[in-house]
Structure 1
Amino acid sequence: MLTEVAATRYITPLREGGSLPGLVEADDRATYVVKFTGAGQGRKTLVAEAICARLARGLGLRVPPLVTVRLDPVLGLGEPDPEVQDLLKASGGLNLGVGYLSGALGFDPLAYGVEPREAGRIVWFDAWVGNVDRSWRNPNMLVRGQDLWLIDHGATMIWHHNWPTVQTAAARPYDASDHALAGFEPDVAAAAAELAPGVTPELLAEATADVPDAWLADEAGFGSPDEVREAYASALLARAATVHEHITLGRPPGARPVGSSGWLPAGPATTGEAS
Protein backbone atom coordinates (compact mmCIF):
# COMPACT_ATOMS: atom_id res chain seq x y z
CA MET A 1 0.00 0.00 0.00
CA LEU A 2 1.04 3.59 -0.57
CA THR A 3 2.26 5.60 2.40
CA GLU A 4 -0.41 7.94 3.74
CA VAL A 5 0.33 11.55 4.65
CA ALA A 6 -1.94 14.41 5.69
CA ALA A 7 -2.22 17.69 3.80
CA THR A 8 -1.24 20.67 5.93
CA ARG A 9 -1.16 23.52 3.39
CA TYR A 10 -2.53 24.10 -0.09
CA ILE A 11 0.12 26.09 -1.94
CA THR A 12 -1.13 26.77 -5.46
CA PRO A 13 -3.15 25.24 -8.32
CA LEU A 14 -1.32 23.86 -11.34
CA ARG A 15 -3.48 25.01 -14.20
CA GLU A 16 -1.55 23.18 -16.90
CA GLY A 17 -3.59 20.07 -16.12
CA GLY A 18 -7.26 19.83 -17.00
CA SER A 19 -8.10 18.28 -13.63
CA LEU A 20 -6.65 21.26 -11.69
CA PRO A 21 -4.07 19.40 -9.59
CA GLY A 22 -2.54 21.41 -6.78
CA LEU A 23 0.81 21.81 -5.09
CA VAL A 24 0.32 20.73 -1.47
CA GLU A 25 2.54 20.53 1.60
CA ALA A 26 2.05 17.50 3.86
CA ASP A 27 2.83 16.56 7.45
CA ASP A 28 6.00 14.72 6.36
CA ARG A 29 7.37 18.15 5.29
CA ALA A 30 7.42 17.11 1.65
CA THR A 31 5.67 18.81 -1.26
CA TYR A 32 3.37 16.91 -3.59
CA VAL A 33 1.43 17.49 -6.77
CA VAL A 34 -1.98 16.27 -5.62
CA LYS A 35 -4.59 14.80 -7.96
CA PHE A 36 -7.99 15.19 -6.29
CA THR A 37 -10.86 12.73 -6.07
CA GLY A 38 -13.31 15.59 -6.54
CA ALA A 39 -11.92 16.53 -9.96
CA GLY A 40 -14.06 16.05 -13.03
CA GLN A 41 -12.15 13.01 -14.32
CA GLY A 42 -13.09 11.04 -11.20
CA ARG A 43 -11.36 8.43 -9.13
CA LYS A 44 -10.44 6.14 -12.06
CA THR A 45 -7.80 8.65 -13.08
CA LEU A 46 -6.19 8.17 -9.67
CA VAL A 47 -6.46 4.39 -9.97
CA ALA A 48 -4.65 4.51 -13.31
CA GLU A 49 -1.97 6.83 -11.90
CA ALA A 50 -1.31 4.57 -8.91
CA ILE A 51 -1.17 1.30 -10.83
CA CYS A 52 0.95 2.60 -13.70
CA ALA A 53 3.47 4.33 -11.44
CA ARG A 54 4.13 1.12 -9.52
CA LEU A 55 4.36 -0.89 -12.76
CA ALA A 56 6.78 1.59 -14.32
CA ARG A 57 8.97 1.58 -11.23
CA GLY A 58 8.92 -2.21 -11.11
CA LEU A 59 10.18 -2.33 -14.70
CA GLY A 60 13.00 0.14 -14.06
CA LEU A 61 11.44 3.32 -15.48
CA ARG A 62 11.69 6.58 -13.55
CA VAL A 63 8.51 7.90 -12.00
CA PRO A 64 8.14 10.26 -9.02
CA PRO A 65 7.22 8.64 -5.69
CA LEU A 66 3.53 8.39 -4.88
CA VAL A 67 1.61 8.67 -1.61
CA THR A 68 -2.00 8.98 -0.60
CA VAL A 69 -2.81 12.40 0.81
CA ARG A 70 -5.59 12.68 3.38
CA LEU A 71 -7.35 15.98 2.91
CA ASP A 72 -9.59 17.73 5.42
CA PRO A 73 -12.11 19.78 3.39
CA VAL A 74 -11.68 22.71 5.79
CA LEU A 75 -8.33 23.28 4.09
CA GLY A 76 -10.27 24.92 1.27
CA LEU A 77 -12.19 27.41 3.35
CA GLY A 78 -9.52 30.08 3.06
CA GLU A 79 -8.96 29.73 -0.68
CA PRO A 80 -9.93 32.89 -2.59
CA ASP A 81 -10.55 31.05 -5.88
CA PRO A 82 -14.09 29.57 -5.81
CA GLU A 83 -13.11 26.81 -8.25
CA VAL A 84 -10.25 25.68 -6.01
CA GLN A 85 -12.41 26.00 -2.91
CA ASP A 86 -15.12 23.80 -4.43
CA LEU A 87 -12.54 21.22 -5.53
CA LEU A 88 -11.00 20.94 -2.07
CA LYS A 89 -14.41 20.72 -0.41
CA ALA A 90 -15.34 17.86 -2.75
CA SER A 91 -12.10 15.96 -2.13
CA GLY A 92 -12.22 15.07 1.54
CA GLY A 93 -10.48 11.79 2.36
CA LEU A 94 -7.74 10.11 0.35
CA ASN A 95 -6.26 11.76 -2.72
CA LEU A 96 -3.16 10.94 -4.75
CA GLY A 97 0.11 12.75 -4.13
CA VAL A 98 2.94 12.72 -6.68
CA GLY A 99 6.38 13.71 -5.45
CA TYR A 100 7.30 17.21 -6.64
CA LEU A 101 10.47 17.17 -8.75
CA SER A 102 11.96 20.53 -7.91
CA GLY A 103 14.02 22.00 -10.74
CA ALA A 104 12.74 19.57 -13.37
CA LEU A 105 12.20 20.81 -16.92
CA GLY A 106 9.52 19.84 -19.38
CA PHE A 107 10.77 17.37 -21.98
CA ASP A 108 11.52 18.89 -25.39
CA PRO A 109 12.69 16.55 -28.18
CA LEU A 110 14.69 19.39 -29.71
CA ALA A 111 16.66 19.83 -26.50
CA TYR A 112 16.90 16.36 -24.98
CA GLY A 113 17.61 13.20 -26.97
CA VAL A 114 16.57 9.68 -26.02
CA GLU A 115 18.56 6.71 -27.29
CA PRO A 116 16.64 3.87 -28.99
CA ARG A 117 16.78 1.44 -26.06
CA GLU A 118 15.27 3.88 -23.56
CA ALA A 119 12.80 5.21 -26.13
CA GLY A 120 11.73 1.65 -26.89
CA ARG A 121 11.18 0.86 -23.22
CA ILE A 122 8.93 3.88 -22.78
CA VAL A 123 6.96 3.29 -25.99
CA TRP A 124 6.48 -0.37 -25.05
CA PHE A 125 5.30 0.58 -21.57
CA ASP A 126 2.85 3.15 -22.93
CA ALA A 127 1.51 0.65 -25.45
CA TRP A 128 1.11 -1.95 -22.72
CA VAL A 129 -0.95 0.30 -20.45
CA GLY A 130 -2.65 2.02 -23.38
CA ASN A 131 -1.39 5.52 -22.64
CA VAL A 132 -3.10 7.95 -25.02
CA ASP A 133 -1.46 11.03 -23.53
CA ARG A 134 2.26 11.09 -24.34
CA SER A 135 2.32 12.78 -27.72
CA TRP A 136 4.94 15.22 -28.98
CA ARG A 137 2.37 17.95 -28.27
CA ASN A 138 1.96 16.88 -24.65
CA PRO A 139 4.90 14.63 -23.69
CA ASN A 140 4.13 14.22 -19.97
CA MET A 141 7.83 13.72 -19.27
CA LEU A 142 10.26 15.75 -17.20
CA VAL A 143 14.03 16.03 -17.27
CA ARG A 144 15.84 16.49 -13.98
CA GLY A 145 19.59 16.78 -14.33
CA GLN A 146 20.34 14.19 -17.01
CA ASP A 147 17.45 11.85 -16.16
CA LEU A 148 14.10 11.43 -17.89
CA TRP A 149 11.03 10.96 -15.68
CA LEU A 150 7.54 9.82 -16.65
CA ILE A 151 4.49 11.60 -15.21
CA ASP A 152 0.71 11.78 -15.62
CA HIS A 153 -0.67 8.31 -16.29
CA GLY A 154 -4.32 9.10 -15.71
CA ALA A 155 -5.21 8.54 -19.38
CA THR A 156 -4.26 4.86 -19.42
CA MET A 157 -6.15 1.55 -19.33
CA ILE A 158 -9.08 3.23 -21.07
CA TRP A 159 -10.97 -0.06 -21.01
CA HIS A 160 -11.61 0.36 -17.27
CA HIS A 161 -14.20 2.98 -18.18
CA ASN A 162 -16.17 0.20 -19.89
CA TRP A 163 -15.30 -3.13 -18.29
CA PRO A 164 -17.22 -5.32 -20.78
CA THR A 165 -14.60 -4.36 -23.41
CA VAL A 166 -11.73 -5.73 -21.32
CA GLN A 167 -11.86 -9.07 -23.17
CA THR A 168 -10.50 -7.36 -26.28
CA ALA A 169 -7.87 -5.30 -24.46
CA ALA A 170 -5.05 -7.83 -24.91
CA ALA A 171 -4.99 -7.43 -28.70
CA ARG A 172 -5.96 -3.79 -28.91
CA PRO A 173 -3.60 -1.91 -31.30
CA TYR A 174 -1.52 1.04 -30.16
CA ASP A 175 -0.83 3.87 -32.55
CA ALA A 176 2.53 5.36 -31.54
CA SER A 177 2.95 7.49 -34.67
CA ASP A 178 2.25 10.60 -32.57
CA HIS A 179 4.27 9.46 -29.55
CA ALA A 180 6.76 11.96 -28.16
CA LEU A 181 9.62 9.47 -28.63
CA ALA A 182 8.63 7.94 -31.98
CA GLY A 183 11.26 9.97 -33.81
CA PHE A 184 14.12 8.53 -31.77
CA GLU A 185 13.83 5.11 -33.43
CA PRO A 186 12.56 3.27 -30.34
CA ASP A 187 13.71 -0.36 -30.23
CA VAL A 188 10.36 -1.87 -29.29
CA ALA A 189 11.39 -5.46 -30.02
CA ALA A 190 14.31 -5.25 -27.58
CA ALA A 191 12.05 -3.60 -25.02
CA ALA A 192 9.51 -6.41 -25.30
CA ALA A 193 12.21 -9.04 -24.80
CA GLU A 194 13.52 -7.17 -21.76
CA LEU A 195 10.34 -5.98 -20.07
CA ALA A 196 7.59 -8.49 -20.82
CA PRO A 197 9.19 -11.24 -18.66
CA GLY A 198 9.14 -8.78 -15.76
CA VAL A 199 5.36 -8.51 -15.91
CA THR A 200 4.64 -11.14 -13.27
CA PRO A 201 1.58 -11.86 -11.14
CA GLU A 202 3.62 -10.64 -8.18
CA LEU A 203 4.33 -7.24 -9.76
CA LEU A 204 0.69 -6.85 -10.78
CA ALA A 205 -0.47 -7.76 -7.28
CA GLU A 206 1.84 -5.12 -5.80
CA ALA A 207 0.63 -2.48 -8.25
CA THR A 208 -3.06 -3.08 -7.70
CA ALA A 209 -2.54 -3.28 -3.93
CA ASP A 210 -1.41 0.36 -4.05
CA VAL A 211 -4.97 1.42 -4.88
CA PRO A 212 -7.06 2.24 -1.78
CA ASP A 213 -10.30 0.30 -1.38
CA ALA A 214 -12.22 3.58 -1.41
CA TRP A 215 -11.22 4.19 -5.04
CA LEU A 216 -12.42 0.73 -6.12
CA ALA A 217 -15.60 0.44 -4.07
CA ASP A 218 -19.00 0.07 -5.74
CA GLU A 219 -17.54 -0.66 -9.17
CA ALA A 220 -20.38 -1.95 -11.35
CA GLY A 221 -20.13 -5.66 -12.02
CA PHE A 222 -17.76 -6.43 -9.16
CA GLY A 223 -18.45 -7.69 -5.66
CA SER A 224 -15.42 -6.25 -3.90
CA PRO A 225 -12.31 -4.08 -4.42
CA ASP A 226 -10.18 -7.23 -4.62
CA GLU A 227 -12.24 -8.46 -7.58
CA VAL A 228 -11.52 -5.18 -9.36
CA ARG A 229 -7.82 -5.55 -8.60
CA GLU A 230 -7.86 -9.05 -10.09
CA ALA A 231 -9.54 -7.72 -13.25
CA TYR A 232 -6.82 -5.10 -13.74
CA ALA A 233 -4.09 -7.69 -13.16
CA SER A 234 -5.63 -10.21 -15.54
CA ALA A 235 -6.03 -7.69 -18.38
CA LEU A 236 -2.50 -6.37 -18.03
CA LEU A 237 -0.93 -9.81 -17.79
CA ALA A 238 -2.67 -10.94 -20.98
CA ARG A 239 -1.62 -7.80 -22.88
CA ALA A 240 2.08 -7.87 -21.93
CA ALA A 241 3.01 -10.91 -23.98
CA THR A 242 2.04 -9.65 -27.44
CA VAL A 243 1.54 -5.90 -27.22
CA HIS A 244 4.73 -5.22 -29.22
CA GLU A 245 3.06 -6.91 -32.21
CA HIS A 246 0.30 -4.29 -32.23
CA ILE A 247 2.37 -1.07 -32.13
CA THR A 248 2.37 1.31 -35.09
CA LEU A 249 5.35 3.68 -35.14
CA GLY A 250 5.91 6.95 -36.95
CA ARG A 251 8.14 9.98 -36.62
CA PRO A 252 6.66 13.22 -35.27
CA PRO A 253 8.35 16.50 -36.20
CA GLY A 254 11.49 17.60 -34.40
CA ALA A 255 12.88 14.33 -33.05
CA ARG A 256 15.94 12.55 -34.43
CA PRO A 257 17.95 9.43 -33.55
CA VAL A 258 20.74 9.89 -31.01
CA GLY A 259 23.54 7.66 -29.73
CA SER A 260 22.88 8.24 -26.04
CA SER A 261 20.22 9.88 -23.92
CA GLY A 262 20.86 13.41 -22.65
CA TRP A 263 20.85 17.08 -23.49
CA LEU A 264 21.53 17.79 -27.14
CA PRO A 265 24.30 20.26 -28.10
CA ALA A 266 21.87 23.16 -28.49
CA GLY A 267 21.13 22.91 -24.73
CA PRO A 268 17.84 23.05 -22.83
CA ALA A 269 15.09 24.80 -24.76
CA THR A 270 12.91 25.38 -21.72
CA THR A 271 13.79 27.09 -18.48
CA GLY A 272 10.62 27.02 -16.39
CA GLU A 273 10.29 24.69 -13.46
CA ALA A 274 7.79 21.91 -14.03
CA SER A 275 5.92 19.61 -11.70
Structure 2
Amino acid sequence: MELRTVTVTRYIMPLREGGSLPALAEADDDFKYVLKFRGAGHGVKALIAELLGGEIARTLGLRVPELVFANLDPAFGRTEGDEEIQDLLKKSQGLNLGLHFLSGAITYDPAAGEVNPRLASEIVWLDAYTTNIDRTVRNTNMLMWHKELWLIDHGATFYFHHSWDNWEKHSTSAFELIKDHVLLSAASELDAVNTDFKLKLSAEKLREIVNLIPDDWLQWEDLDLKPEEIREVYFQFLTGRLVHSETFVNEAKNARA
Protein backbone atom coordinates (compact mmCIF):
# COMPACT_ATOMS: atom_id res chain seq x y z
CA MET A 1 0.00 0.00 0.00
CA GLU A 2 1.14 3.53 -0.68
CA LEU A 3 -0.30 7.02 -0.88
CA ARG A 4 0.45 9.58 -3.55
CA THR A 5 2.35 12.69 -2.50
CA VAL A 6 1.32 16.09 -3.86
CA THR A 7 2.62 19.61 -3.30
CA VAL A 8 0.15 22.27 -2.24
CA THR A 9 0.15 25.19 -4.67
CA ARG A 10 -2.80 27.32 -3.55
CA TYR A 11 -4.65 27.92 -0.30
CA ILE A 12 -8.26 28.57 -1.30
CA MET A 13 -10.21 29.03 1.93
CA PRO A 14 -10.75 27.67 5.45
CA LEU A 15 -13.66 25.23 5.57
CA ARG A 16 -15.03 25.98 9.04
CA GLU A 17 -14.29 27.83 12.21
CA GLY A 18 -12.54 25.96 15.01
CA GLY A 19 -9.17 24.96 16.34
CA SER A 20 -8.12 22.67 13.49
CA LEU A 21 -8.93 25.06 10.62
CA PRO A 22 -8.96 22.51 7.77
CA ALA A 23 -8.82 24.19 4.39
CA LEU A 24 -9.71 23.76 0.77
CA ALA A 25 -6.48 23.82 -1.22
CA GLU A 26 -5.20 23.04 -4.70
CA ALA A 27 -2.17 20.88 -5.45
CA ASP A 28 0.28 20.46 -8.30
CA ASP A 29 -1.82 17.67 -9.80
CA ASP A 30 -4.59 20.24 -10.43
CA PHE A 31 -6.98 18.57 -7.99
CA LYS A 32 -8.53 20.19 -4.95
CA TYR A 33 -8.13 18.68 -1.48
CA VAL A 34 -9.45 19.16 2.01
CA LEU A 35 -6.18 19.81 3.79
CA LYS A 36 -5.55 18.68 7.37
CA PHE A 37 -2.62 20.49 8.98
CA ARG A 38 0.07 19.06 11.22
CA GLY A 39 0.32 22.43 12.97
CA ALA A 40 -3.31 22.43 14.14
CA GLY A 41 -5.05 21.13 17.22
CA HIS A 42 -3.73 17.69 18.10
CA GLY A 43 -0.98 17.93 15.50
CA VAL A 44 0.37 14.82 13.80
CA LYS A 45 -1.67 12.49 16.01
CA ALA A 46 -4.84 13.75 14.34
CA LEU A 47 -3.24 13.12 10.95
CA ILE A 48 -2.26 9.59 12.00
CA ALA A 49 -5.83 8.93 13.14
CA GLU A 50 -7.16 10.30 9.85
CA LEU A 51 -4.76 8.13 7.86
CA LEU A 52 -5.37 4.89 9.76
CA GLY A 53 -9.12 5.36 10.09
CA GLY A 54 -9.55 6.25 6.43
CA GLU A 55 -7.42 3.44 5.05
CA ILE A 56 -9.03 0.83 7.32
CA ALA A 57 -12.43 1.99 6.09
CA ARG A 58 -11.26 1.74 2.48
CA THR A 59 -9.87 -1.77 3.09
CA LEU A 60 -13.28 -2.79 4.40
CA GLY A 61 -14.94 -1.55 1.21
CA LEU A 62 -16.43 1.66 2.57
CA ARG A 63 -16.32 4.87 0.55
CA VAL A 64 -13.64 7.33 1.64
CA PRO A 65 -12.17 10.17 -0.44
CA GLU A 66 -8.66 9.44 -1.67
CA LEU A 67 -6.03 10.33 0.95
CA VAL A 68 -2.74 11.89 -0.14
CA PHE A 69 0.33 13.16 1.60
CA ALA A 70 0.38 16.91 0.99
CA ASN A 71 3.70 18.71 1.12
CA LEU A 72 3.72 22.34 2.25
CA ASP A 73 6.74 24.32 1.09
CA PRO A 74 8.36 26.71 3.64
CA ALA A 75 7.60 29.65 1.32
CA PHE A 76 3.93 28.75 1.04
CA GLY A 77 1.45 31.15 2.64
CA ARG A 78 3.77 34.11 3.15
CA THR A 79 1.27 36.39 1.43
CA GLU A 80 -1.73 35.09 3.39
CA GLY A 81 -3.48 38.08 4.97
CA ASP A 82 -5.08 36.29 7.93
CA GLU A 83 -2.49 36.10 10.71
CA GLU A 84 -4.04 33.00 12.30
CA ILE A 85 -3.97 31.12 9.01
CA GLN A 86 -0.44 32.34 8.23
CA ASP A 87 0.73 31.08 11.63
CA LEU A 88 -0.94 27.72 10.99
CA LEU A 89 0.75 27.39 7.61
CA LYS A 90 4.15 28.18 9.11
CA LYS A 91 3.68 25.49 11.76
CA SER A 92 2.60 23.00 9.10
CA GLN A 93 5.60 23.10 6.80
CA GLY A 94 6.46 19.64 5.52
CA LEU A 95 4.14 16.65 5.18
CA ASN A 96 0.42 17.09 5.86
CA LEU A 97 -2.64 15.07 4.83
CA GLY A 98 -5.19 15.80 2.11
CA LEU A 99 -8.55 14.27 1.27
CA HIS A 100 -9.80 14.53 -2.30
CA PHE A 101 -12.46 17.24 -2.41
CA LEU A 102 -15.89 15.89 -3.35
CA SER A 103 -17.30 18.86 -5.22
CA GLY A 104 -21.04 19.24 -4.71
CA ALA A 105 -21.27 16.79 -1.81
CA ILE A 106 -23.70 17.61 0.99
CA THR A 107 -23.57 16.67 4.67
CA TYR A 108 -25.54 13.53 5.47
CA ASP A 109 -28.73 14.39 7.33
CA PRO A 110 -30.16 11.42 9.29
CA ALA A 111 -33.61 13.01 9.12
CA ALA A 112 -33.55 13.14 5.33
CA GLY A 113 -33.06 9.46 4.55
CA GLU A 114 -32.35 6.05 6.06
CA VAL A 115 -29.19 4.01 5.62
CA ASN A 116 -29.73 0.31 4.92
CA PRO A 117 -29.01 -2.04 7.86
CA ARG A 118 -25.95 -3.65 6.29
CA LEU A 119 -24.18 -0.36 5.54
CA ALA A 120 -25.18 1.09 8.91
CA SER A 121 -23.76 -2.00 10.64
CA GLU A 122 -20.51 -1.74 8.68
CA ILE A 123 -20.00 1.90 9.69
CA VAL A 124 -20.90 1.26 13.33
CA TRP A 125 -18.48 -1.68 13.41
CA LEU A 126 -15.71 0.44 11.89
CA ASP A 127 -16.20 3.23 14.42
CA ALA A 128 -16.36 0.86 17.38
CA TYR A 129 -13.20 -0.86 16.15
CA THR A 130 -11.26 2.38 15.70
CA THR A 131 -12.85 4.02 18.79
CA ASN A 132 -14.26 6.91 16.78
CA ILE A 133 -16.04 9.30 19.14
CA ASP A 134 -17.19 11.67 16.40
CA ARG A 135 -19.96 10.20 14.25
CA THR A 136 -23.01 11.48 16.10
CA VAL A 137 -26.28 13.23 15.28
CA ARG A 138 -24.58 16.55 16.05
CA ASN A 139 -21.70 15.81 13.70
CA THR A 140 -22.26 12.90 11.33
CA ASN A 141 -18.94 13.22 9.44
CA MET A 142 -20.57 11.66 6.40
CA LEU A 143 -21.33 13.13 2.99
CA MET A 144 -23.83 12.29 0.28
CA TRP A 145 -22.15 12.44 -3.12
CA HIS A 146 -23.76 11.11 -6.30
CA LYS A 147 -26.42 9.44 -4.12
CA GLU A 148 -23.79 7.43 -2.21
CA LEU A 149 -22.61 7.72 1.39
CA TRP A 150 -18.97 8.75 1.94
CA LEU A 151 -17.06 8.78 5.23
CA ILE A 152 -14.85 11.71 6.21
CA ASP A 153 -13.02 13.11 9.24
CA HIS A 154 -11.47 10.22 11.15
CA GLY A 155 -9.21 12.47 13.20
CA ALA A 156 -11.08 11.63 16.42
CA THR A 157 -10.29 7.91 16.20
CA PHE A 158 -7.63 6.17 18.31
CA TYR A 159 -8.09 8.67 21.14
CA PHE A 160 -5.87 6.51 23.39
CA HIS A 161 -2.80 7.98 21.68
CA HIS A 162 -3.33 11.43 23.17
CA SER A 163 -2.30 10.13 26.59
CA TRP A 164 -0.61 6.85 25.51
CA ASP A 165 -1.55 5.33 28.88
CA ASN A 166 -2.96 1.80 29.16
CA TRP A 167 -3.20 1.28 25.41
CA GLU A 168 -3.48 -2.46 26.06
CA LYS A 169 -6.65 -1.86 28.08
CA HIS A 170 -8.07 0.37 25.34
CA SER A 171 -7.39 -2.34 22.77
CA THR A 172 -9.85 -4.68 24.52
CA SER A 173 -12.42 -2.10 25.63
CA ALA A 174 -16.12 -2.30 24.87
CA PHE A 175 -16.19 1.34 23.68
CA GLU A 176 -19.28 2.53 25.50
CA LEU A 177 -19.48 5.77 23.49
CA ILE A 178 -20.88 3.75 20.58
CA LYS A 179 -24.27 4.47 22.18
CA ASP A 180 -24.12 7.96 20.63
CA HIS A 181 -23.49 6.76 17.06
CA VAL A 182 -25.82 8.33 14.51
CA LEU A 183 -26.45 5.02 12.69
CA LEU A 184 -26.70 2.70 15.68
CA SER A 185 -30.47 2.28 15.52
CA ALA A 186 -30.22 0.93 11.96
CA ALA A 187 -27.25 -1.37 12.64
CA SER A 188 -29.07 -4.69 12.92
CA GLU A 189 -26.47 -6.86 11.14
CA LEU A 190 -23.47 -6.41 13.43
CA ASP A 191 -22.78 -10.12 13.93
CA ALA A 192 -22.61 -10.82 10.19
CA VAL A 193 -20.44 -7.75 9.61
CA ASN A 194 -18.12 -8.80 12.43
CA THR A 195 -17.55 -12.18 10.79
CA ASP A 196 -16.90 -10.66 7.35
CA PHE A 197 -14.70 -7.77 8.48
CA LYS A 198 -12.43 -9.92 10.66
CA LEU A 199 -11.54 -11.87 7.52
CA LYS A 200 -10.74 -8.70 5.56
CA LEU A 201 -8.41 -7.25 8.21
CA SER A 202 -5.59 -9.75 8.15
CA ALA A 203 -2.44 -9.12 10.16
CA GLU A 204 -0.60 -8.50 6.88
CA LYS A 205 -3.13 -5.89 5.79
CA LEU A 206 -3.05 -4.12 9.16
CA ARG A 207 0.73 -4.07 9.03
CA GLU A 208 0.61 -2.46 5.58
CA ILE A 209 -1.76 0.23 6.81
CA VAL A 210 0.31 1.02 9.91
CA ASN A 211 3.48 1.16 7.81
CA LEU A 212 1.95 4.06 5.86
CA ILE A 213 2.61 6.38 8.82
CA PRO A 214 5.63 8.54 7.87
CA ASP A 215 8.62 8.64 10.21
CA ASP A 216 8.21 12.42 10.15
CA TRP A 217 4.91 12.06 12.04
CA LEU A 218 6.42 9.82 14.71
CA GLN A 219 8.97 12.17 16.27
CA TRP A 220 7.13 12.83 19.54
CA GLU A 221 8.83 14.97 22.15
CA ASP A 222 6.57 13.66 24.92
CA LEU A 223 7.36 9.99 24.26
CA ASP A 224 10.71 8.22 24.36
CA LEU A 225 9.99 5.69 21.61
CA LYS A 226 11.42 5.22 18.14
CA PRO A 227 9.09 5.48 15.10
CA GLU A 228 9.10 1.71 14.58
CA GLU A 229 8.15 1.20 18.24
CA ILE A 230 5.21 3.59 17.94
CA ARG A 231 4.03 1.84 14.79
CA GLU A 232 4.21 -1.45 16.65
CA VAL A 233 1.88 -0.11 19.36
CA TYR A 234 -0.68 0.92 16.74
CA PHE A 235 -0.39 -2.52 15.14
CA GLN A 236 -0.83 -4.31 18.47
CA PHE A 237 -3.77 -2.06 19.33
CA LEU A 238 -5.51 -2.91 16.06
CA THR A 239 -4.86 -6.64 16.26
CA GLY A 240 -5.97 -6.66 19.91
CA ARG A 241 -9.27 -5.00 19.08
CA LEU A 242 -9.82 -7.48 16.29
CA VAL A 243 -9.26 -10.45 18.61
CA HIS A 244 -11.74 -8.95 21.10
CA SER A 245 -14.22 -7.65 18.53
CA GLU A 246 -17.12 -9.51 20.15
CA THR A 247 -16.69 -7.21 23.15
CA PHE A 248 -17.41 -4.00 21.25
CA VAL A 249 -19.98 -5.69 19.02
CA ASN A 250 -21.94 -6.85 22.08
CA GLU A 251 -21.68 -3.35 23.55
CA ALA A 252 -23.22 -1.91 20.39
CA LYS A 253 -25.96 -4.55 20.36
CA ASN A 254 -26.78 -3.83 24.01
CA ALA A 255 -26.87 -0.10 23.30
CA ARG A 256 -29.35 -0.72 20.46
CA ALA A 257 -31.52 -2.79 22.79
Please tell me the TM-score bracket, short chain as reference: over 0.9
Bigger relative contact order (CA 8 A; separation at least 6):
1
Return the alpha-carbon distance in structure 1 between the equivalents of residues 62 and 6 of structure 2.
Answer: 24
Alpha-carbon offset, residue 51 of structure 1? 1.1
CA distances 1:30-81 after superposition (whole Å, capped 9, x unpaired) = 1101100111221100011111111111111111101111112322121111
2:241 aligned counterpart, secondary structure: helix
C-alpha displacement of 1:130: 0.2
RMSD (CA atoms): 1.6
Give the secondary structure class of the aligned counterpart of 2:25. strand
Residues 1-275 of structure 1 aligned to structure 2 (within 5 Å)? 1-16=2-17, 18-175=19-176, 176-218=178-220, 220-222=223-225, 224-246=226-248, 247-248=251-252, 250=255
Deviation at 1:17, TM superposition (A): 5.3
Which structure 1 segments of 5+ residues have no match?
252-275
**How has the CA–CA distance of structure 1 residues 189 and 229 changed in structure 2, closer, same or farther, with 3 Å as cutoff?**
same
When normalised by structure 1's length, the TM-score is 0.86
Higher helix share: 2
Dislocated runs of 4+, deviation >4 Å: none
Secondary structure, aligned partner of 1:112: coil
Total equivalences in the alignment: 250
**Distance across 2 between alignment mates of 1:104 and 1:227:** 39
CA contact (8 A) 2:102 2:145 kept: yes
Q: How far apart in 1 are the matches of 2:94 and 2:242?
A: 34
Answer whether contact 2:19 2:40 (CA < 8 A) is retained. no
In the TM superposition, what is the alpha-carbon distance from 1:16 to its structure 2 partner?
4.9
Q: CA deviation at 1:195?
A: 0.4
Note the alpha carbon deviations across 1:68-126, whole angstroms, 9 max, x for none: 11112322121111111111111110110111011111011111211111111110010
The equivalent of 1:260 in structure 2 is none
Q: Distance in 2 between matches of 1:210 and 1:21?
A: 22
Relative to structure 1, the CA distance from residue 46 to residue 9 in structure 2 (aligned partners, 3 Å threshold; closer, same or farther) is: same
Give yes or no for contact 1:115–1:186 (8 Å, CA) kept in 2. Answer: no
CA separation in 2, counterparts of 1:183 and 1:164? 32
- Calculate the TM-score normalised by the size of structure 2: 0.92
Amino acid corresponding to residue 173 of structure 1 in structure 2: A
1:170–1:243 Cα contact (<8 Å) kept: no
In 2, Cα distance between equivalents of 1:17 and 1:57: 27
Is the 1:52–1:207 contact (alpha carbons within 8 Å) kept by the matching residues of 2?
no
Q: List alignment gaps of at least 5 residues for structure 2.
A: none
Secondary structure (helix, strand or coil) at the match of 2:11 reads strand
Aligned to 1:271: none
Identity %: 46
Contact between 1:76 and 1:86, CA under 8 Å: does it hold in 2? no
Which amino acid in 2 is paired with 1:124?
W
Q: Residues of 1 paired with 2:229 and 2:11: CA distance?
A: 35
Distance in 1 (CA, whole Å) between partners of 2:44 and 2:21 is 14
Distance 1:185 1:248 in 2: 9
| Helix, strand or coil at the partner of 1:44 | helix
Structure 1 position 12, deviation (Å): 0.4
> Residue 156 of structure 1: SS of its match in structure 2?
coil
> Tell me, what secondary structure is at the counterpart of 1:96?
strand
CA contact (8 A) 2:184 2:252 kept: no
| In structure 1, C-alpha distance between the alignment counterparts of 2:86 and 2:144, rounded to whole Å | 32
